[in-house]
Amino acid sequence: MKSDLEKNISQFITYLTSEIRYSPNTSTSYQNDLFEYQKFIIKFKIDYCNISKDQIREYLKYLDQLKYSKSTISRNLSALRHFYSYLEINNKVKTNPFKSIHNPKKDKKLPNFLQPDELQKIFDSLKIETPLEIRNRLIVELLYATGLRVSELTDIKLSSIDINNHEIKVRGKGNKERIVYFGDYAEKYLRLYLETARPLLIKKNKSDYLFLNNTGTNLSTRGVEEIIDKIVRESSLKHNISPHVLRHTFATDMLNNGADLKSVQELLGHASLSTTQIYTHITNERLRSVYLKTFPRQQEKVDKLK
């Protein structure tokens, strides 16, 4: 028999998916976070409807002992804030005890990105002899050309693409729509895929989605991750590269080539400019390196010290 807490969690997840229209990834993450919270509540015999601030602090210690990263703990707290707001609205608790609990400060970690020669190695390794190879080439081209998240890429529908104007309408985090753009290379492989590869992949199935797997059904985010893993191995690059690295590379290259921060924010679909600003640390390091190598008086000073 389900406990009262378990029932409320189940109802809350249904509410997120059916009424608020949260993405499946976010709903699943919140569900996992709440199940971890449930384990804590059961283990320490806590009344979740009257949890105290001291008990919440103990919960945060509990997550830390599980080796949760700061970003995962922050997401966990976000799930609990939303959950208790839902309980408060439905008169199951009097107040939301997590409303005043602050997220842990995140460690500043610079995003990983590809150097031009590494990116070229990936493109050089790609063949276009089979339908799946054409599809894979298009995946890499679009990830780099648009800076899309993997979930946004797999969610592209044929009706969202304006191939003549090089535009794609995508739905990002928080169900927000935005327009992303692509260049001539991506257009070339998009046309090739639509005209030759996709008709062979879809077989007798019907799908509105752009990317299909080898059975003719929608390609999953995990499927894209496996494709990128395979491409990276075959390109002989020595370090791990996820699809998100192509998003970081897009943002870094845009800023390095003169794009303003606000435009990059909008193209990436970041809600806050501060999220995009992390890329300026990368571009600033590049500028510093260029300056130290090329500024005449700096070079003169180096020469004198030799």
- Of the listed 75, 82, 247, 248, which one is catalytic? 247
Residues 6 or more apart in contact with residue 277 via CB below 8 angstroms: 261
Which residues make beta-bridge pairs with 218? Answer: 212
CB 160 within 8 A of CB 179: no
Which residues make beta-bridge pairs with 168? Answer: 161, 180
Please give the helix or strand (H or E) that residue 257 lies within, else none.
none
Q: Are strands 161-162 and 177-181 parallel, antiparallel or unpaired?
A: unpaired
Lookup: tokens for 268 = 């990436």
Lookup: tokens for 254 = 């845009």
Distance CA 28, CA 23 (A): 9
Residue 166 is among the residues annotated as catalytic for this protein: no
Distance CA 269, CA 171 (A): 9
Residue 279 is among the residues annotated as catalytic for this protein: yes
| Number of alpha helices (DSSP H) and beta strands (DSSP E) in the chain | 15, 3
Distance CA 28, CA 240 (A): 26
- Of the listed 81, 157, 166, 173, which one is catalytic? 173
- Of the listed 137, 149, 171, 198, which one is catalytic? 149
Distance of CA 154 to the CA centre of its chain: 12
Query: What is the SS3 assignment for 48?
Result: helix
Residue 191 is among the residues annotated as catalytic for this protein: no
Write the Ramachandran bin of 46: left for phi over 0, alpha for psi from -120 to 50, otherwise beta. beta
Distance CA 173, CA 21 (A): 11
Give the angle 36-41-47 at the CA atoms, nearest 5°. 145
- Of the listed 135, 137, 248, 270, which one is catalytic? 270
- Of the listed 84, 86, 189, 279, which one is catalytic? 279
Closest CA to 284 of 110, 24, 130, 129: 110
Show which residues are catalytic: 149, 173, 244, 247, 270, 279
